[in-house]
Amino acid sequence: MFDINTLVLPHILTLKPYSSARDEYAGDTGIFLDANENAYGTPGVATPGVVASVAFHRYPDPHQQQLKQRIAEIKQMAPDHIFLGNGSDEAIDLLIRAFCAPHTDNIITLPPTYGMYEVAASINQVGVHTATLMQDFQIAEDQLMQAVDAQSKLVFFCSPNNPTGNILSRDTILRFARQFSGLVVVDEAYIDFAGVPSLLEVLSDVPNLVVLQTFSKAWGMAALRLGMAFASPPVIQILNKIKPPYNVNALTQQKAMEVLAHPNQKEKIVQEIIAQREKLAEALSELPLVEKVYPSDANFLLVRVRDAYQVFNTLIREKVIVRDRSSVLLCEGCLRITVGTPEENQTLLEKLKAFQGAFSA
Ligand SMILES: *Cc1c(COP(=O)(O)O)cnc(C)c1O
């Protein structure tokens, strides 16, 4: 049913990708006079351009081979199943550009969900069909089937979903994938915080599955911009073919290697965030202005409060910034609150209590 060569846009299929200087000679020793770099180093940077073994005056590895090898070990898969991008937002954009013809094709999103799918589609003049989640934030299968037409090329499932915080039904996603001829993209930005395993487990059995993960959340590297897409090698090859040659910079590759040397420390922090999430959820649910704390498989809580907009603005005046989701479909009256440090969470609770006190006075 799924055939990558009929799914990919014809001009991408036949595209001859840019060949960088580093593609033509891949060795790492020699006198490099091929890429018009500054052989003298980086002006003003001590020990000519070298900081923690990264030489800023040379172009980085366009294929991020060392980093992919390390990620492949951690994820227990072959490196040819991995694409690395400038954040997972880059993978979202490249998927749309490779598989969706402007003015013709469409993607499917399941609102309320992450806004970038729609924005990336709109930038590329690609249509967006929606299949709104059910009241319990699970997939409405009949709506989803109705949203699909012959021009639907990608479906974006966000699981755990942002902003609702819940895991989507794995059975429903896989059932859908089996009879969909396009790509099923599962955005797992928050999977480390969930009590269920990643869909990476079934990657080799589902040829049209793409799993997105990121270093921005559990790995604590949002500023470095590093995202991952996992898929079958033919899909990965297409993303590699159309990416900007040096899309992941040298500092990011270097720092990610350092962070990946200590995966246990990440796990420790994740456990701490989950513990804080449960503690915060309980404390919030005891406040009279809180109407509902939704269960969360992520590092944030969706919280329905009385007078959401007023609460949001009061918190801002107190320099506590949360995300106002009160005008989002199915999230009426809700704020999305990231789990902070114990001190930050305590301050948030105190400000909410003070607001409540002023309110009832
Ligand atoms: C935060 C987030 C991402 C991460 O995007 P990056 O570009 O990797 O920082 C992706 N998807 C969702 C749903 C998110 O909330």
Distance, CA of 258 to CA of 281 (rounded, Å): 33
Q: Name the helix (H) or strand (E) containing 82.
A: strand 82-85
User: Which residue type, as a one-letter code, is found at position 96?
Assistant: I
Check pLDDT > 70 for residue 286: yes
Q: How far is the CA of 43 from the centre of ligand 1 (A)?
A: 35
Distance, CA of 186 to CA of 160 (rounded, Å): 9
Distance, CA of 356 to CA of 345 (rounded, Å): 17
Side-chain-facing half-sphere of 127: CA atoms under 13 Å: 14
Distance, CA of 157 to CA of 154 (rounded, Å): 10
For the record, the structure tokens of 143 come out as 């709506």
- Provide the greatest CA pair distance for the chain: 76
- Nearest alpha carbon, ligand 1 atom 10: 189
Check pLDDT > 70 for residue 360: no
Task: State whether the beta carbon of 114 lies less than 6 angstroms from ligand 1.
Answer: yes
**Which are the contacts of 28, defined by CB distance < 8 A and separation ≥ 6?**
none
- Nearest alpha carbon, ligand 1 atom 11: 189
Task: State whether the beta carbon of 2 lies less than 6 angstroms from ligand 1.
Answer: no
DSSP-derived pairing of the beta strands 82-85 and 106-109: unpaired
Q: What is the mean pLDDT of residues 152-164?
A: 98
Task: State whether the beta carbon of 185 lies less than 6 angstroms from ligand 1.
Answer: no
Atom in ligand 1 nearest the alpha carbon of residue 217? 1
pTM for the full predicted model: 0.96
Distance, CA of 38 to CA of 56 (rounded, Å): 10
Cβ proximity of 101 and 145 under 8 Å: no
Residue 47 pLDDT: 60
DSSP-derived pairing of the beta strands 183-187 and 152-158: parallel
Residue 151 pLDDT: 98
Residue-wise pLDDT for 94-136, tens only, equals 999 999 999 999 999 999 999 999 999 999 999 999 999 999 9
Give the phi and the psi of residue 214 in degrees, each rounded to 5: -145, 155
Residue 52 pLDDT: 47
Instruction: For residue 199, give the nearest of 185, 220, 218 by alpha carbon.
Output: 185
Gyration radius of the chain over CA positions: 22
For the record, the structure tokens of 294 come out as 């939704």
Q: In this structure, how many other beta carbons lie within 10 angstroms of the beta carbon of residue 274? A: 19
For the record, the structure tokens of 163 come out as 């902003």
Check pLDDT > 90 for residue 20: no
Residue-wise pLDDT for 297-341, tens only, equals 999 999 999 999 999 999 999 999 999 999 999 999 999 999 999
Cβ proximity of 161 and 328 under 8 Å: no
Task: State whether the beta carbon of 189 lies less than 6 angstroms from ligand 1.
Answer: yes
Q: How far is the CA of 4 from the centre of ligand 1 (A)?
A: 26
Cβ proximity of 210 and 183 under 8 Å: yes
Cβ proximity of 193 and 299 under 8 Å: yes
Cβ proximity of 344 and 278 under 8 Å: no
User: Which residue type, as a one-letter code, is found at position 92?
Assistant: I
Q: How far is the CA of 217 from the centre of ligand 1 (A)?
A: 8
Q: How far is the CA of 184 from the centre of ligand 1 (A)?
A: 17
Check pLDDT > 90 for residue 236: yes
List C-alpha distances in Å: 28 to 39, 60, 165, 186: 15, 11, 45, 36
Atom in ligand 1 nearest the alpha carbon of residue 226? 8
Q: How far is the CA of 158 from the centre of ligand 1 (A)?
A: 10
Q: Name the helix (H) or strand (E) containing 242.
A: helix 233-242
Q: What is the mean pLDDT of residues 53-76?
A: 92
Residue 148 pLDDT: 98
Q: How far is the CA of 215 from the centre of ligand 1 (A)?
A: 9
Give the phi and the psi of residue 178 in degrees, each rounded to 5: -65, -30
N- to C-terminal Cα separation, the chain: 64
